[in-house]
């Protein structure tokens, strides 16, 4: 019997320790609370007592959760809650005595049925999202390309099954290496769909004979057509590297400033460019230029990296990221990416990821 219980618990917990399970539950509960709480008016009102404010917030949370269910399931949930909290009553009806004590069981049964229905929807949606994730993976390089004198590595972690981050590295017809990291506003399926259109347009337009600022301007005009009047803009960093000379020409379209650490000493932030893509179709973009020498290290990242939060809502921040970079200056690009993500993991612990994380490391060899 004990052995069966051990097997049962192992199957339920997947071998995770109790304190880790509790930490995971707290992280999930906090994330779910924040999801519903953003729909609640929590501002204190004039002359409002603490009790009235508590009751108003509780009522708001209740309706926020109810609003996520279909009308039929709302009715079932309401019935289940009534049956669960119904006190034990005895009264005479039609010559017989009626006892409400057994109705609590049916309330629990109805909740179990609702759970099964919601799980069914979740599994179906997850299967569809897994297919979407597989398709998205085809659009981005699964392995870093190999170029003489250049060591490149990248990694991405979607907050949900599919991501709104995009990264790429490939040779243009002019012989220059094009490197790009982009972040579509939003997460999950809507952002992933726009990421696919961005990838397709960039690959097509990069095949044309044009300078980098002209390429970015063309991609921007296309992005404006898909951006829902600027509501779905995209921050992006695009750069062309000439491996033989180390000259890097770049355009920063409203993206987090990449960090360039020179082996000889000194740090540069690559900020020249303009507004994010998809806001103004007529916007001209300026470019910046730097020269990379042997051993120089470039890190391009999305905001999900530096804005990763721990269980107290503290951000990882650029300061912590900058502290890691000196330790990976001479490491292989793949090892540098692993070290940076490991630093983020150590900081956030079991807190649920709230935004896509992507970073691309480039080192001159």
Give 152's contacts (C-beta < 8 A, 6+ positions apart).
144, 145, 169, 179, 333, 360, 361, 362
Task: Give per-residue pLDDT as tens, 312-339.
Answer: 889 999 999 999 999 998 899 999 999 9
At 68, which helix (H) or strand (E)? Answer: none
**How far apart are the C-alpha atoms of 129 and 153, rounded to whole Å?**
26
How many CB atoms are located within 10 Å of the residue 360 CB?
26
Phi-psi region of 226 (alpha: psi -120 to 50; beta: other; left: phi over 0): alpha
**How far apart are the C-alpha atoms of 59 and 9, rounded to whole Å?**
36
pLDDT band at 98 (very low <50, low <70, confident <90, very high): low
229 pLDDT exceeds 70? Answer: no
Tokens describing residue 285 = 């973009």
Q: Do the Cβ atoms of 212 and 249 come closer than 8 Å?
A: yes
351 pLDDT exceeds 90? Answer: no
Domain ranges of the chain: 2-133, 140-364
Task: Give per-residue pLDDT as tens, 16-48.
Answer: 777 777 777 777 777 777 777 777 776 767 777
In this prediction, residues 189-215 reach a mean pLDDT of 86
Share of the chain above pLDDT 90, in %: 36
For the ranges 101-115, 192-206, 215-229, 305-319, the maximum mean pLDDT occurs at 305-319
Tokens describing residue 224 = 């404006």
Q: Residue 123: its pLDDT value, please?
A: 76
**How far apart are the C-alpha atoms of 355 and 3, rounded to whole Å?**
42
Q: Do the Cβ atoms of 212 and 240 come closer than 8 Å?
A: yes
Is the whole model's pTM more than 0.75, yes or no? no
**How far apart are the C-alpha atoms of 31 and 12, rounded to whole Å?**
22
122 pLDDT exceeds 90? Answer: no
Average pLDDT, the chain: 84
Q: Do the Cβ atoms of 178 and 169 come closer than 8 Å?
A: yes
8 pLDDT exceeds 90? Answer: no
Beta bridge partners of 252: 237, 273
CATH architecture, domain defined by 140-364: 4-Layer Sandwich (3.60)
**How far apart are the C-alpha atoms of 105 and 233, rounded to whole Å?**
51
The 3-state DSSP composition of the chain as helix, strand, coil percent (nearest 5) reads: 45, 20, 35
């Amino acid at each position: 019997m004990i052995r069966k219980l051990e097997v049962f618990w192992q199957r339920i917990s997947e071998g995770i320790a109790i304190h880790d399970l509790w930490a995971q539950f707290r992280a999930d509960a906090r994330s779910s609370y924040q999801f519903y709480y953003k729909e609640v008016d929590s501002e204190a009102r004039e002359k409002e007592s603490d009790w009235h404010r508590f009751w108003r917030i509780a009522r708001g949370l209740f309706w926020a959760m109810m609003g996520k269910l279909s009308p039929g399931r709302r009715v079932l949930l309401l019935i289940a809650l009534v049956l669960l909290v119904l006190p034990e009553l005895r009264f005479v009806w039609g010559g017989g005595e009626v006892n409400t004590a057994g109705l609590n069981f049916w309330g629990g049964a109805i909740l179990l049925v609702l759970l099964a229905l919601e799980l069914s929807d979740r599994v179906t949606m997850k299967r569809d999202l897994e297919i979407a994730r597989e398709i998205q993976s085809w659009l981005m390089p699964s392995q870093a390309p190999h170029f003489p004198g250049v060591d490149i590595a990248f990694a991405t972690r979607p907050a949900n099954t599919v991501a709104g981050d995009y990264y790429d590295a490939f040779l243009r017809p002019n012989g220059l290496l094009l490197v790009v990291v982009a972040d579509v506003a939003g997460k999950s399926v809507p952002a992933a769909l726009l990421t696919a259109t961005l990838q397709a347009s960039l690959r097509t337009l990069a095949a044309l004979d044009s300078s980098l600022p002209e390429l970015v301007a063309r991609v921007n005009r296309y992005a404006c057509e898909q951006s829902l009047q600027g509501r779905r803009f995209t921050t992006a960093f695009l750069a062309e590297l000439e491996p033989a000379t180390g000259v890097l020409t770049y355009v920063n379209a409203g993206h987090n400033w990449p960090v360039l650490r020179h082996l000889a000493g000194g740090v540069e932030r690559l900020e020249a460019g303009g507004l994010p893509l998809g806001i103004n179709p007529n916007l001209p973009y300026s470019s910046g230029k730097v020269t990379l020498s042997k051993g120089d290290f470039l890190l391009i990242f999305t905001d999900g990296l530096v804005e990763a939060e721990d269980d107290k809502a503290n951000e990882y921040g650029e300061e912590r990221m900058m502290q890691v970079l000196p330790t990976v200056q001479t490491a292989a690009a793949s090892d540098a990416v692993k070290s940076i993500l490991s630093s983020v993991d150590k900081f956030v612990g079991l807190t649920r990821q709230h935004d896509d994380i992507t970073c691309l490391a480039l080192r001159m060899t």
